[in-house]
Structure 1
């Protein structure tokens, strides 16, 4: 039996899975690492934590699965997007990585807009947002000039981990698309962007396809993990691109709902000339010469995790969600907006913050929990609404992540999205997508579509209930007003946040 390993470098943990030729997950190991938050809006991690925990996870995976390591033919990666890792000329890390959910770069974003105007949107297909990589580079250039002077290369999180495991330096198109430095349709770095901001063009790593083999494991990594040093390593893709592959979003008409730390609504695109005018993201897919459109809720699963850690720390998520099925739609007049760290789609606003609207003394914990679940789903629905407004058909949605682990939440998605929602038999998200890239790169299949036919199986379907749809439509109308009615209040409150 042959095997591959998928590695997902997430925001809170690394996840590793061992997958056989039938697409069965034969083992899974996750290892967490801390988030560094020195100030409001600052989110960083130590890249060495990713490397150390990945090596430990792989060693444990190999140990518990007890397969012949020579039968593990390939490894590939998925990773959190946009994060900035700066290396010096000796390929040593210069500072902590600045993550996708870091919002310190508002002034740099405005500067980019002033310099480029609408031209940047034509090149990168995306609006300038605080989470992207270019504003982070400019922030370091402005606030840490001594570090910027030493910077010889930037890498994205998964690319850094892969470099440490192989010794080879690459990026690939699906992750590079989230930097604001890639010409998305021409699939090459746009060096004019670098030159306009006095960024050395040499800072950009070489680009490869997601399924390309970029090397084998270094001898010391092979020894530490128990893997063979002959194991092939493939480039991999951005977490959302890999999540799409792992859910079979490989042809037109398919849409993905992924609820992790952030939340994503993602739809496959083949037409590179399609223009959403920056209303949603437009990125390169992990499938060659394909693209996807995407709307993002910054604090989706993070909202539920925040509530649990703040108010129910000693409970499991199953205990936390117990009783929500008995709470009526609308949580007895309680509404939540999930803007804990700002928002991205449809409101690119780093200052907006979350709200509970309508609290009264009769509300219990389960009312708040359901309100959080409904608020997250409403935010994701705003992306679906944008897709439909631009003429895309969204009637079937594959749901993965935390939102697919609870049947109440799956029915809620079907009712709010007004679409058929499908749960997969074995949902491994981006890690499975990474594993599938390794199978394709290893020659097991002629295409990713062929791999998906073998690996991906549907297990249950949830249909919208008309009576629920009507109530949620009325509640969603109220939800949409909250942003505009609290925007100025939150901007004023920003002066009182810790800096």
Structure 2
């Protein structure tokens, strides 16, 4: 039996086909192959993508992978979906998309979320929603209601990106508690949709899709789509989760105290807790994890830095276009620890939650035109990203989350041995690297939802760490981090 996983990223779609018997990936593909952002920015601070582009890329990815003849497409028996979190997709009664999706790094709704936070009562909101409405999906919908009322009046259902792709595959529209929590619609105290938030914004409950358990059928593949993609009619879409809960699942991070990390377009540390914890300033955020149950509230505490991998890509485009990332890392390795004073703040991708939703912009400091070369920028960018992880991790530690080890997939920035070692020494936490990614996690999640595996743990019984990276005794980054922190604090005053 085969399982198909779809990961809807910001820069590309990644799909994998996994053999349920041994949990091994038989084939995977990224579409489009050439890295691109495809983010539309009609105004400063805005970030949009076309849901129909996602759908077109999903179809092309599946057809391209099928054409490689590495498996029989009709042996695929379940589909799982992971997706970029916090986006807003809206459809009318004919299930037509009403406008471009407002995606996770869009900053337009910050003020709307802040107004709701103050009006509803900050402590009351944190106690029930575990987050400020901030710049999340509910606030983005509030922006639509205020600024595009003609579109708002046509809305039949609001969805997250993964819900939209599941709808295109099946014709069904569903959601889950985990998805609702990432939109800041879920009341953790009353264990239901937040009546207070819906009433404040004037949202009808009719806009919310049918709520189903995360590991359950969310529709079945329609005949038209199955025929077009060469798949079997009626196979279930049996799993949907945001990319960070899904990344944690793919690393078998399911129990309190376990922690996952990723460093793709954004950078994330995600730790599991059985306490309904929250940060008073909502700099780190708490959402229902994939195995959350109202009477067994496992939650994920999420630190997100918008400007991580996107900075690394920008640096490549500006200073190393003829190089691949491995060559960039080799050059960066020739530069001493601390990049000879060069410091970079990697905050150039919208409002940063760890900075209380400030839009700071990426900044380069202490540039010496007589000394610094492009290899210094290559290393300083990776150090700046690691420093921002440390800054956020210290916030998590202050909120009771103190990881002894962090699990990460060997992907994106963690493909760089240099970055992985910098990350470990800056945070002073060992990292276990696994050969896994979000699309494989989504495929295995589909197997859990379809009942192929009895428990989530069973789905990852064969997972083994590729390597464990420990802090190097001679790589003391504390002084360099304090210099970087002083630079950041100067910008935040």
Scaled to the shorter chain, the TM-score interval is over 0.9
- 1:477 paired with 2:482, answer yes
Asked if the contact 2:214–2:239 (Cα under 8 Å) also holds between the matched residues in 1, the reply is yes
Q: Which residue of 2 aligns with 1:370?
A: 379
Residue 465 (1) aligns with residue 472 (2): yes
Say if 1:51 and 1:475 are closer, same or farther in 2 by CA, change over 3 A.
same
Inter-CA distance 153–194: structure 2 relative to 1 (3 Å threshold): same
* 2:474 is the counterpart of 1:486: no
Q: Does 1:126 align with 2:131?
A: yes
8 A Cα contact 1:280 1:295, kept in partner = yes
SS of alignment partner, residue 391 of structure 1: coil
Equivalent in 266, 274, 278 of residue 277 of structure 2:
274
Separation (CA, whole Å) in 2 of partners of 1:236 and 1:381 = 30
4+ long deviations beyond 4 Å: none
- Alignment of 1:423 with 2:428, yes or no, is no
Partner of 1:492: none
Q: TM-score, normalised by structure 1?
A: 0.92
Q: CA deviation at 1:377?
A: 0.8
Partner residue in 1 for 2:7: 8
Aligned positions of 1:244-283 closer than 5 A: 244-271=248-275, 273-277=276-280, 278-283=282-287
Q: 1:35 aligns with which of 17, 33, 39?
A: 39
Aligned to 2:306: 298
Are the equivalent residues in 2 in contact too, given 1:4–1:74 (CA < 8 A)?
yes
Contact in 1 for aligned 2:48/2:101 (Cα 8 Å): yes
Residue of structure 2 equivalent to 1:414: 424
Counterpart residue number, 1:88: 92
Distance 1:16 1:355 in 2: 35
SS at match of 2:257: coil
Say whether the 8 Å CA contact 1:103–1:350 is kept in structure 2.
Answer: no
Aligned position for 2:334: 326
TM-score by length of 2: 0.93
Q: 73-82 vs 399-408, which deviates more?
A: 399-408
Match of residue 22 from structure 2: 22
Q: C-alpha distance in 2, partners of 1:50/1:111?
A: 32
Structure 1 contact 264–294 (Cα < 8 Å) conserved: yes
Distance, in Å, in 2 between the alignment partners of 1:192 and 1:106 is 19
Q: Distance in 1 between matches of 2:487 and 2:55?
A: 41
* Corresponding residue of 2:113: 109
SS where residue 64 of structure 1 aligns? coil
Any unmatched runs of 5+ in structure 1? 489-499
Say whether the 8 Å CA contact 1:341–1:350 is kept in structure 2: no
What is the alpha-carbon root mean square deviation over aligned residues? Answer: 1.7
Would you say the 8 A contact 1:27–1:65 is kept in 2?
no
CA distance in 2, matches of 1:351, 1:420: 31
Write out aligned runs for 1:40-189 (5 A): 40-118=44-122, 119-130=124-135, 132-184=136-188, 186-189=190-193
> 2-side partners of 1:388 and 1:105: how far apart?
28
Task: Tell me if structure 2 keeps the 8 A contact 1:171–1:235.
Answer: no
Partner of 1:161, secondary structure, is helix
Deviations 1:87-135 (A, max 9, x none): 12222111110000001123312321232121222221112322x1112
Structure 2 gaps of 5+ residues are none
Residue correspondences, number: 480
Judged with a 3 Å threshold, the aligned counterparts in structure 2 of structure 1 residues 314 and 341 are, in CA distance, closer, same or farther, namely same
The DSSP-based 3-state class of the residue aligned with 1:164 is: helix
- Change beyond 3 A, Cα 1:128–1:441: closer
